[in-house]
Chains A and B, each alone.
Chain A
Amino acid sequence: MLENMILGLGSAFQPEMLIAVFLGVVGGVVIGALPGLTSTMGVALLIPVTFSLPPQVGLAMLGGIYCASTYSGAISAILLNIPGTSASVATMLDGHPMSRNGEPGRAISLATFASAIGGVASVAALLLLAPQLAEFSLRFGSPEYFLLAVFGITVIASMSSGAMEKGLIAGAFGLILSTVGVHPLTGTMRFTFDMPSLYDGVPLVVALIGLYSIPEVIDLVKRAREEHGNDARVDASGFLAVIPEILRQKVNLLRSSLIGIIVGIVPGVGCSVGGFLAYDAAKRASKTPDRFGKGAAEGIVASETGNNAVTGGTLIPLLTLGIPGNPVTAVLLGGIMIHGLRPGPELFTTNAEITYGFIFSLFLSNLLFVPVGLVIARFGLRIVQVPPAILAPIILALAVLGAYSIRASLNDVWIMLAVGALGWGMAVLAVPRAPLVLGLVLGTLAEGELARSLALVRGDVSAFALGLLTRPISLVILGLCVFAIAHGILQHRRNSKFLE
C-alpha cells in the first residue's frame, strides 16, 4: 500500500497533473463564486474534455473544480449576501455581517483558510481510512437517513439568530415546499399544477438564487441614491493576518472537519448539510453564542471547514464502492467509468497509480485554491465599492442567467422570480431565510427516507419505532436529536429570562 502511495505521489507531481489541477482550481473558483453556476455543472461540462486526457489528469482537473467551487461559493456569500452554492448558506450567516462591518477581506481569508484545512483533513481521511469508512457508510440504512435529516432540521434553532419563532415558521415553510413534486415512493404528483418543471420538486439552486439575489437587488436599488459606504479597503497582507487567528480555533477546526467528513461518507446528504451541522455545533459549543449571526469568526470557520470536509468524505464511498454521495460525485463516477476504471478495491491495487495520483492531486487542489481564491477575491473586494446602481442590474442579470442555464428552461426563471418575491417578503419581515433552505434541502430526504423505512417494515409503525431504538447508529443519532432540541429549548429559556 505504501508503495502504491509513493507511486501516486510521484504521478501527482507530473507537470501535466499540476497544470490540470491549476486549471481545475481556477475554473472551480470562478464557477463557485458566480451564483447559479454549480460545481455539478462545471464538472459535467468538463467531462467531454477529459475524454482525451490520461485518466489521472482528467480526474485531477475534475477534483480541482469540485474542491475549489465548494469553497468559492463563500466569496459571493460574504461580499454580496448571495450564496454561490448551497454549501455556503451557513457561511453567509456570519460572513456577510462581518463584511458589512467593514472587514470583507478578513471574512474571505477566514473562509479560504478554513476551507483548505477542512478539505485537506478530508482528503487525509480518504487516503488513510477509505476502506474502513466505506463499511460504515453501508450500515447507513433508511431509518438512519431519516433521523439524520431530522437532526439536520433541529439546526433551524441555530440558524434563526434570536428570532426562534420566525425561524421555525420559515423552516416549516421550507419543509412544505420540499413536498412539491413526485412522491419519492408512490410517484403521486403533488402541487405541480401540471408544470413539468415542478415534477422533480422546487429546484434547489433556482430557489436559492431567487431567495437571496432578488431581495439583494431590491435592497441595492433602494440604496442607490444614498452614498454607498465603501469602507472596504483591504490590502493583501490583511489576507495572511488571519492565519494565527484561525490556528487558535483548533477545536473548532477539528470538530467541523470530523462533522464534514462523516456527512460526506454518508451518501446522499451533501456539502450544505456539512456546513450547517458544523456551524450549529460551533454555536452550541461557544461561550458567546450571541455573537453568531453578527459576524463571528468561528461561524465562518466552522461552516467553511465543514462544507469542504464533505468533499473528501463523499469520495470514500465513490471510490471504494462506486456509490456517489451527491450530484457532483455522480458526475465524477461517470468520468471514472468513461476511462474504463471500475470503483472498488482494484482501483487501489491494479490502478493504484491513477487512484493515488488523483488523491494526492486533491491535496494540491485544496492548497492551491488558497492563493487562487485570494487573488480573485482581491478583485472581488472591489464589488463592495461598485455603486449600487451598477451592481443591482448585474446581479439581476446573473440571477436570470443562472436560473435559466441550469436546465435551459424559462420556467425556472419564473420559479426563481416567484421565490425571489417570497424572499423579499421574508427580508422585509426580518424572517431568517437559512431555515427555509434547510427545510427545502432536508425535507425531501426526511420524507423519502421515512416512507422507505415504513415500506421496509410494510407500514408497521411499532416495528419501525423498535428499529430506531435497536439499531446502534440510529440510536446515536436519536440521542443527538434529543440533545439538540433540549439544548435549544433550555438556551431559549435562559435567553428570555436574561432579557427580562
Chain B
Amino acid sequence: MIKTMKPWIAGLCAGALAALAGPALADYPEKPVTMIVAYSPGGGTDTAARTIAKYVEKHLGQRLVVENKPGAGGQIGFSALARAATDGYEIGFINVPSIQLVKRLRDNVPYELSDFQPIANIQLDPVVVAVKTDSPYQTLSDLLADARERPGEVNIGADGPQSNNQLQLAVAEDALDVDFNFIAFDGSGPAVKATLGGEVAASLPSLSSAASHVANGRIRILGVFARKRNPQFPDFPTVSEEAGVEVPSVGASLRGIAAPKGLSPEHLAVLEKAFAAVMEDPEFLAHAESAGLPLEYMNAADFSAYLADAETQLDKYIDLIR
C-alpha cells in the first residue's frame, strides 16, 4: 500500500508545486532581458549580438537589450557575466575560445569556466590560411614547402597576441612540423591588409573577415581549419585534406549565448527554445546570409560538450602560445 502510494504522493506534490510555480514561470520573461557583450559597439561580436537580439524578440516575447562591457580582450565583460543575476534577465554573448584563453593566459582572472551555463551557440567562424591573389603559393603545400626550406623565416600575420588565430597557428605548426615567423596584428582586418600589401607571406584571419576580399578577387584561401568543408564555401579545401595530416581546428571562433551558473532549468528551457527558434527563422537566416554571418547552431547540451572538449584540447596546446 505504502509502496503504491509513494509515486502518487510524489505526483501530487509535484503537481501542486507546478501549479504554484506555474504562473510565474509561464510569464517569464516579463521584462526585457539584458545581454552583456564583452566587446565594443560596432565590432564583429557586437554586430552579431545585435542582429540576433533583433530577431529573437519575436520568439522570446521580450526585447533583448545589448549592454556593451568592452575591455581587456573580453575579460571585463566575461567577468561581469559570471557575476550577473541568475534570475534569467541577465545573459551574455560569449566568445570561445577567447573566454578560455583569457582565463588560462592571465593571472587573477575572476571567473571559472564552470561559472557559465551555455544556452546556445550561434556562430562558428573558422580560421583560414589566406594569401594575396598573385602570391607564388598556389596551394597550401607550396607554402608549407617554403616554410620547411626556410624554417622560422616565412612571415605569417594574424590577430594577436594570445588570440584564437595565434592558437590555431601554433597548433598547425605542431601538427605539420613547420615553423613560421608569427607577426601579431591588431585584429584580422590589419592582418589581411598586410597580406594585400605583401608585408607578410600569408595570414590567418577568420573566414568571415576574409570572405569579402575573396569575393573581390584580392585574396585566395589556401585552406580552412575545419573538420569538413564549409557548405557556404564548398570550393575552399580544409587544411587537413590539403596537408594530409589531421590538424585540430581549436582556433575556430564560436559566438554563443550563456547565462551565469544557477539559472533555473525552466528559464534555461525558455531561452533555449527561443534561440533554437530564431536559428530557423527565415528572416534571420536571410539577414545573416547577406551580412555574411557564419551560423552554426548548437543547443545547450551540445554547446556545453563543445566547451568541455575545447578545454581538454587547450590543456594540450595552451603552452604553445604562452
> A: which residues have CB within 8 A of B?
40-41, 43-45, 47-48, 51, 138-142, 182-187, 189, 194, 196-197, 199-200, 267-268, 321-324, 327, 330-335, 337-340, 342-346, 407-409, 448, 452, 455-456, 458
Contacts and interface: CB of A to CB of B under 8 A. Distances in A.
Interface in B250-306: 287, 289-292
Interface of B: 40-44, 46-47, 50-51, 54, 66-73, 75-76, 79, 105-108, 152-153, 155, 160-162, 181, 183-186, 189-190, 192-194, 196-197, 199-200, 212-213, 215-216, 218, 287, 289-292
B148 to A, nearest CB: 17
B54 A51 contact: yes
Given A44-B41, A452-B184, 16 more contacts: A44-B42, A184-B161, A184-B186, A199-B73, A199-B75, A200-B71, A267-B193, A322-B212, A322-B213, A323-B190, A331-B41, A334-B44, A334-B47, A339-B290, A342-B212, A407-B69
B212 A196 contact: no
Nearest to A139: B197
Contacts of A339: 290-291
Contact of A455 (B46, B108, B181, B197): B181
Contacts of B105: 187
B75 A141 contact: no
B284 to A, nearest CB: 12
13 contacts: A48-B50, A187-B160, A187-B184, A196-B71, A200-B71, A322-B213, A334-B42, A344-B212, A408-B67, A409-B69, A452-B183, A455-B184, A456-B155
Given A138-B196, A322-B213, A407-B76, A458 B153 contact: yes
A376 to B, nearest CB: 25
A443 to B, nearest CB: 15
A138 B47 contact: no
Given A197-B76, A267-B190, A456 B41 contact: no
Contact of A196 (B51, B79, B183): B79
Enumerate the 10 nearest inter-chain pairs by beta-carbon distance, A residue then B residue, closest first: A340-B290, A331-B42, A44-B41, A199-B72, A187-B161, A344-B216, A196-B72, A342-B212, A138-B197, A334-B47
**Is chain B's interface secondary structure helix, strand, loop, or mixed overall?**
mixed
- Candidate in B155, B162, B184 with the most chain A CB atoms within 10 angstroms: B184
Contacts of B289: 340
A409 B161 contact: no
B71 A141 contact: no
A321 B212 CA distance: 9
A327 B42 CA distance: 9
Contact of B199 (A43, A142, A182): A142
A448 B186 CA distance: 9
B161 A185 contact: yes
B162 to A, nearest CB: 4
B183 A456 contact: yes
B67 A324 contact: no
Contacts of A327: 40, 42
B1 to A, nearest CB: 62
A225 to B, nearest CB: 42
Contacts, number: 148
A466 to B, nearest CB: 16
Contacts of A139: 197
Given A340-B290, A407-B71, A47 B184 contact: no
Contact of A194 (B108, B186, B213, B290): B108
A340 B186 contact: no
A396 B199 CA distance: 47
B290 A321 contact: no
Nearest to B199: A141
B186 A48 contact: no
B197 A337 contact: no
A456 B157 CA distance: 9
Given A47-B50, A330-B43, A141 B197 contact: yes
A51 B291 CA distance: 12
B72 A337 contact: no
Nearest to B194: A141
B217 to A, nearest CB: 9
B195 to A, nearest CB: 10
Nearest to A335: B42
Contacts of B199: 141-142, 456
A338 B47 contact: yes
A343 B292 CA distance: 12
Contact of A338 (B67, B189, B190, B291): B291
B184 A184 contact: yes
A47 B37 CA distance: 15
Nearest to B289: A340
B71 A458 contact: no
A185 B291 CA distance: 31
A410 to B, nearest CB: 12
Contacts of B292: 337, 340, 342
A337 B293 CA distance: 10
Contact of B46 (A184, A194, A268, A334): A334
Given A139-B197, A141-B197, A142-B199, A197 B71 contact: yes
Contacts of A267: 190, 193
Nearest to A451: B184
A323 B67 contact: no
Nearest to B195: A138
A196 B50 CA distance: 25
A468 to B, nearest CB: 14
Nearest to A134: B196
A175 to B, nearest CB: 19
A56 to B, nearest CB: 16
Contacts of B192: 323
